[in-house]
Structure 1
Amino acid sequence: MFSKILAPIQTTMTDQGVFDQALALAKQNQAGLMLLHVISPDMRSTPALPNPTLYRYPVITDELMQDYRQRWEDVEDQGLEMLKALAEKAEAAGVKAEFSQNVGNTGHVICHMADNWEADLIVIRQPDRSKLDELFLGSISNYVLHHAPCPVMTIPS
């Protein structure tokens, strides 16, 4: 039924259920599995550009930029390590797994990857949010549900 399943994973703590469900479906359907991690400037774990001021003018030194680049590389490395570990688990379970780490707006990147990779299904986490929070803050899963080029399965948090 499904030959390509896309599983966006933010962290293994929050998205273990997404990985488990996507892996089970991939195994059951003998499908390929794409694990996707999106680094978004909106994430709390993403380093912000330094913006110290001196006499009301922004001052960015080489040291500040070097620190920023190092923190950004750390975020990238952590994401890749997580993806590699999950891909190895999938391969050990007999599922052909690929992974990709991209930078951008999370919902847009997920839909773009699903389209380019020609995914048959996206398995994504539905966050624990009130309808009011979702109305004001939005939701990645809600965006994906309305813009994905394929069916979307949501997994409760």
Structure 2
Amino acid sequence: MFHKMLVAVDRSEMDQHVFEQSILLAKATNAEVMLLHVLSPLEDPYISPVFTQPDAIYPTLQTPPMDSYNYVQEWEDLRKERLDWLRSLADTAIHAGVKTGFSQNLGDAGRIICDVASSWPADLIIVGRRGRAGISELFLGSISNYVLHHAHCSVLAIQGQIIDTAANH
């Protein structure tokens, strides 16, 4: 069955569910797990110097430039916080009896997930799927969709809660 599972985690609302399901599957198949978190400056809630500067988009707004030291410090703080979080997840998995490692990378999440899965080499990638559709998926992209179409191995997309925008009108 599966021997090496790459589990992409991203601190979303459904992240705990993805993690728990991954550990259950790893225990059932006696698989090794690699937890992967990708920091990406173009996705929420990450800090982007372009998108935090209104005058970069609307030059008529005059705001002082972001202090580059503060920006670098915020990124470093975020990186450390996420590494501590990954370490905590790995410890939980290890205590559950699953051989587990972790990695944090910077870049485009879909590409990084596929690259790490290939180089590790994983025989299953587990990703969460938020249930975005239509325009929101077009503008926000879909990491799970990218991984499904570009991965070298099997992909398990764990569905999050689907937001029904029609019911909200």
TM-score, normalisation: structure 2? 0.82
Q: Report the AA paired with residue 40 of structure 1.
A: S
Match of 2:20 in 1: 20
Deviations 1:91-150 (A, max 9, x none): 000001000000000000000010001101011111121234324442100000000010
Match of 2:80 in 1: 77
Separation of aligned partners in 1, 2:89 and 2:31 = 16
2:2/2:123 contact within 8 Å kept: yes
Q: CA RMSD in A?
A: 2.4
Separation of aligned partners in 1, 2:54 and 2:141 = 30
1:123 aligns with 2:126: yes
Secondary structure at 2:13 match in 1:
helix
Separation of aligned partners in 2, 1:47 and 1:131 = 26
Separation of aligned partners in 1, 2:138 and 2:48 = 26
Match of 1:7 in 2: 7
After superposition, the Cα gap between the structure-2 partners of 1:92 and 1:69, relative to the gap in structure 1 and judged at 3 Å, is same
Structure 2 counterparts to residues 46-125 of structure 1, below 5 A = 46-49=46-49, 64-125=67-128
Query: How many residue pairs end up in the alignment?
Result: 155
1:52/1:59 contact within 8 Å kept: no
> Runs of 5+ in structure 1 lacking a partner?
none
Question: How far did 1:59 drift?
Answer: 7.5
Q: In terms of mean alpha carbon deviation, does 70-79 or 129-138 score higher?
A: 129-138
TM-score, normalisation: structure 1? 0.88
After superposition, the Cα gap between the structure-2 partners of 1:12 and 1:143, relative to the gap in structure 1 and judged at 3 Å, is closer
> In percent, how many aligned pairs have the same letter?
45
> Runs of 5+ in structure 2 lacking a partner?
56-60, 161-169
Which runs of structure 1 show a deviation greater than 3 angstroms over 4 or more consecutive aligned residues? 50-53, 58-61
Separation of aligned partners in 2, 1:97 and 1:21 = 14
Separation of aligned partners in 2, 1:138 and 1:7 = 19
Separation of aligned partners in 1, 2:39 and 2:158 = 21
